[in-house]
Amino acid sequence: MPARTGTDTQTTYFPQLAAERPDIALCRASTAVARAAEAAAHEQGLGVGQHLVLKMLDAVGPRSQQALGAELRIDRSVMVGIADELERSGYVRRERDPEDRRAYAVTLTAAGRRALTKAEKSVPGFLDRTFAALTPTERDQLTALLGKLLAAT
């Protein structure tokens, strides 16, 4: 049997592994999509986490950093950095939470709303490029399946 080169192994083994281990396939796909999302978000002047925080604040109104992090599944230490950067950029401000004077609520500013609007315009094109290998039906199926997995965790 001829010896395989490293390239042959890379192009033939991973599809087999992915078929046997959907967890590995999902992790690798997630990493690739996350890298693409970060690159696209930075073109708009925001990181993915920053974009998600602005989007949630726009949808639900002021929230504590803790609530934002919990809902968006962003680690507490990472959330602090995101909020700090958004505040430095003028996209959010921290105000005393009227429901808990010991806590601060993160509030979207007009500048933050403008940055979000600009960033949101690029999302459909990003999704189309990133998921081009899937048909619209497959994208819908993937979205439903990921939602089901996330709801179970």
Q: What is the CATH number of the domain that holds 127?
A: 1.10.10.10
The string over 7-27, giving b where at least 16 C-beta atoms fall within 10 Å of a residue's C-beta and e elsewhere, is eeeeeeeeeeebeeeeeeeee
The alpha carbon of 23 is separated from its chain's Cα centroid by a whole number of angstroms, namely 19
Residue 146 domain-assigned?
Answer: yes
Residue 130: give the domain boundaries.
Answer: 22-151
pLDDT in tens, 6-16: 555 446 888 88
**Identity of residue 15:** P
Residue 131 domain-assigned?
Answer: yes
Specify the number of domains making up the chain: 1
pTM over 0.85: no
Among 2-6, 21-25, 67-71, 140-144, the least confident range: 2-6
Overall average pLDDT of the 43-59 stretch = 93
Residue 6 domain-assigned?
Answer: no
pLDDT in tens, 79-115: 999 999 999 999 999 988 777 778 889 999 999 999 9
Burial of residue 122, with CB atoms counted within 10 A of its CB: 0-12 exposed, 13-18 middle, 19 or more buried: middle
Residue 107 domain-assigned?
Answer: yes
| Short-list 53, 135, 52, CA closest to 94 | 53
Among 31-40, 49-58, 91-100, the least confident range: 91-100
